[in-house]
Chain A
Amino acid sequence: MITQSSGPVLVALKELAKIYRTSEVEVNAVCGVTLEIHKGDFLAVMGASGSGKSSLMNMLGCLDRSSSGTYWLDGVDVARLDRNELAGLRNRKLGFVFQGFNLLARTSALENVELPLLYSDPAVPLRERRQRALQALEWVGLSPRAKHHPSQLSGGQQQRVAIARALVNWPELILADEPTGNLDTRTGIEIMQLFQTLNASGITIIMVTHEPDIAEYCKRIVQMRDGRVVSDTGKPSPRIGGPRELGSS
């Protein structure tokens, strides 16, 4: 197994499994995934729908608990934490980017970005919240649109706001679930370039995609099928700017 070891281990999964039980059937969504992700990694999880990648992401995002196996995040055994501690962990160490952007409607870009800071412990004062949110917006190149509401922004811009929200707390890990799925190819490339810049500044990124062209921007690609990892390929030197024109595919 080739893995990119660019730093200390951030995520360590050992035989991680998720079983959904309904009244009549048991679905083994994730069955025994063992994986190490290092700080600074940029990982794409690929697989057909039903391959267990979403279940894996939910567990990685501390939104769902595993049925068995262990998940160490930055040296912490996540299974031992209670609901509130998980919330704190999500707030400090994780950032989320969703396919459908998931911004609050009728709320300015700035306030959307501020959202994680509202739940920080200790509380962040208003002035500092504003300042840090503006900085994050500047990072994604949207500071001129701080006052705009999501409905006044294009899809790409909305996703940038979502990325700004994910990075406003400078998390260890950003989890992106099909971040380009709702965007046209060109905008998708822009978003991927933004992720690459973020990654270059030290943030570890795990993203789910089913588009090989998009996965090409990542350093490492993990393929899943039927809840298992079937291939894991580290890419030694990703090219900033994309490997080739995606429009031709």
Chain B
Amino acid sequence: MTELVRDTYRYRELIWALALKELKIRYKRSVLGFLWALLNPALLMLVLTLVFSTILRFGVPHYAVFLLSVLLPWTFFSQSLSYAVESIVSNGDLIKKVRVPKLVFPVAALVSNLINLGLSLIPLALLVLAIRHPFYWTWLYLPVPLLALVLFTLGMTFFFATANVYYRDVAHILQVVLSAWFYLTPIIYSLDFIPAHYKWIFKLNPLIYVINGFRLSVYYGLLPKAPSIAASFTCGIASLVIGFMIFRKYQDQFVFYV
């Protein structure tokens, strides 16, 4: 664990440069360039708002805010994983030629998506103002679930990046896992919609605690209860410890398999 903290700090400039490179390449050759990082979520919000305020009505007021308050963190989670799973393999050429701590690649994949998430909060705030949803002071609480989410995501990226070095099927399996996970997590719906005797199954999902934190603070203007916060950090730390241990065990072998 000290290795993780030490190398992340020591190579922070490299990680930042790699993350920016990732974004730069993603928006390369588009006229609007970096603006897409803002436009993408903004347009998505526009579509969602139109669809759910006119065509589909769930009886959830300001459904777009209800949805986006957790869809944006979910997008960060799933995109980080999708990028990171390939991060070791796609940087194989580099790993074969330069001595560099391997952890910079999954971490950079996460950081680039973190930048995206940060940017997408701007249109979300604008949306909240535009549809006159109350702008709660609990927005200030967001860094807490965000931290738990980053820990959890980082652990998962380490695990999937490692597994994909050995079996390239992992990247494909991940996509299936992510889409199932998406529907099993209360993102488009609320846990309240679930019959009481099934709820325990949903509570096994490590993501729901952190998701809960985002929705409560942005949509309801409430803070999560202490056990929920504790659960979100327990999941986050467990994921990071296990994920990084696996990564660390195999990282010296990566060079032979990429």
To the question of whether A and B form a pair in one complex, the answer is: no
